[in-house]
């Protein structure tokens, strides 16, 4: 019996690398993609050695509009069919909307919105034809709460992934394809180093944080159950519920106050 085959974007660190390790432990063959070839190759060697699986490395930058088709063409040329798609690649853009040039925003939208949408479109029909498939779109708790000042497009992009996943889940469940928006809150990773907010983030209490391994373990269980949206961590689920019950004006005021603690609103 052949192994399930998974494509993971943003696989070089954090949640993406945790997905690679946990799916490898479950016996999946893998395609890992990100921009950092050295990290991908190191992870691939580790997983081949530990689990005896096939791991291919496909270095690419999803800010390139041609990247999704290039990835799918590379898999097709190898005769590989994707059973699990993990749309994980992402990052944050520090500062306010006006403080960044359009090229910066365009690249962000390509990586966070267009690439996962296109990869899903290109791979979904094969999953439906085979009667099985799993798609996890790594969204965020930020997609459930009011958007803060700074990092302007991040919460908006994650809200899109949530709604996109809900619709896909309803459209494809009967065909054996489960789709889940995984919505972690604060997660230990390199994300906040890249956005230059590590000093601010370190001031948050420990109970606010989850490890990437915990996030992924809960996400895999959620998509297998058929959950269209899943928020890992009791604290995060409580935050979402409280915000939903608040009047919009109060929720926005709280977002404005709290975002100063962890968002970079400077250029």
- pLDDT of 195: 46
Task: Give the pLDDT of residue 85.
Answer: 98
Residue ranges in the chain assigned as alpha helix (H): 14-25, 37-51, 67-77, 102-109, 115-130, 152-172, 191-194, 198-201, 212-225, 234-245, 248-262
Q: What is the mean pLDDT of the chain?
A: 91
Residue 95 lies in a domain: yes
- Look at residue 192 in the predicted model and tell me its pLDDT: 47
Residue 123: predicted pLDDT: 98
- Residue with more model confidence, 121 or 196: 121
Number of domains in the chain: 1
Residue 53 included in any domain: yes
Determine, yes or no, domain membership for 267: no
pLDDT greater than 90 at residue 255: no
pLDDT band at 149 (very low <50, low <70, confident <90, very high): confident
DSSP code per residue over 176-225: TEEEEEE---EEESSHHHHTT-HHHHTTS-GGGEEEHHHHHHHHHHHHHH
- Percent of the chain surpassing pLDDT 90: 78
| pLDDT > 80? residue 24 | yes
pLDDT at 133 over 70: yes
**Region 211-230: what's the mean pLDDT?**
97
Is residue 59 in a domain?
yes
Which CATH number fits the domain that encloses residue 109?
3.40.50.720
Q: Check 91, 154, 230, 262 and give the catalytic one.
A: 154
Q: Does 154 participate in catalysis according to the annotation?
A: yes
Is the pLDDT confidence value at 266 over 60?
A: no
**Residue 252 pLDDT class (50, 70, 90 cuts):** confident
Residue 24 inside a domain? The answer is: yes
198 has a pLDDT exceeding 50: no
Strand pairing report for 186-188 and 55-57: unpaired
**How large a percentage of the chain has pLDDT more than 70?**
89
User: Has residue 37 got a pLDDT over 60?
Assistant: yes
Q: Is the pLDDT reported for residue 39 higher than 50?
A: yes
Query: Which domain covers residue 118, as residue numbers?
Result: 5-262
Lowest mean pLDDT among 79-88, 167-176, 225-234, 244-253: 244-253
Q: Is the pLDDT of residue 260 over 70?
A: no
Provide the terminal-to-terminal Cα distance of the chain, rounded to the nearest Å. Answer: 54
Q: Is the pLDDT of residue 197 over 60?
A: no
Q: Report the pLDDT averaged over residues 158-164.
A: 98
| 195 lies in some domain | yes
Average pLDDT over residues 113-119: 98
- Average pLDDT of the residues in 57-64: 98
Query: CA-CA distance, 178 to 190, in Å (whole number)?
Result: 29
**CB-based burial label for 43 (10 Å; 0-12, 13-18, 19+):** buried
């Amino acid at each position: 019996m052949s192994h399930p085959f998974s494509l993971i974007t943003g696989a070089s660190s954090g949640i993406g690398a945790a997905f690679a390790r946990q799916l490898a432990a479950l016996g999946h063959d893998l395609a890992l993609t990100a921009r950092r070839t050295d990290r991908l190759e190191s992870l691939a060697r580790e997983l081949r050695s530990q689990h005896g699986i096939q791991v291919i490395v496909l270095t690419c930058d999803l800010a390139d509009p041609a990247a999704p088709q290039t990835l799918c063409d590379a898999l097709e040329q190898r005769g590989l069919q994707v059973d699990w798609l993990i749309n994980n690649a992402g990052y944050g853009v520090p500062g306010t909307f006006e403080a960044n040039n359009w090229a910066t925003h365009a690249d962000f939208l390509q990586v966070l919105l267009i690439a996962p949408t296109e990869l899903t479109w290109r791979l979904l029909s094969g999953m439906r034809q085979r009667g099985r498939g799993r798609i996890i779109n790594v969204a965020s708790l930020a997609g459930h709460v009011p958007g803060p000042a700074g990092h302007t497009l991040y919460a908006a992009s994650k809200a899109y992934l949530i709604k996109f996943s809900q619709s896909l889940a309803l459209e494809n469940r009967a065909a054996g394809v489960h789709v889940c928006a995984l919505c972690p809150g604060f997660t230990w990773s390199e994300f906040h180093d890249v956005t230059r907010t590590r000093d601010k983030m370190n001031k948050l209490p420990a109970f606010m944080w989850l490890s990437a391994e915990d996030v992924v373990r809960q996400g895999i269980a959620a998509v297998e159950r058929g959950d269209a949206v899943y928020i890992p961590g009791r604290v995060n689920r409580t935050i979402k519920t409280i915000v939903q019950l608040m009047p919009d004006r109060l929720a926005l005021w709280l977002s404005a106050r709290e975002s100063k603690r962890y968002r970079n609103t400077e250029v």
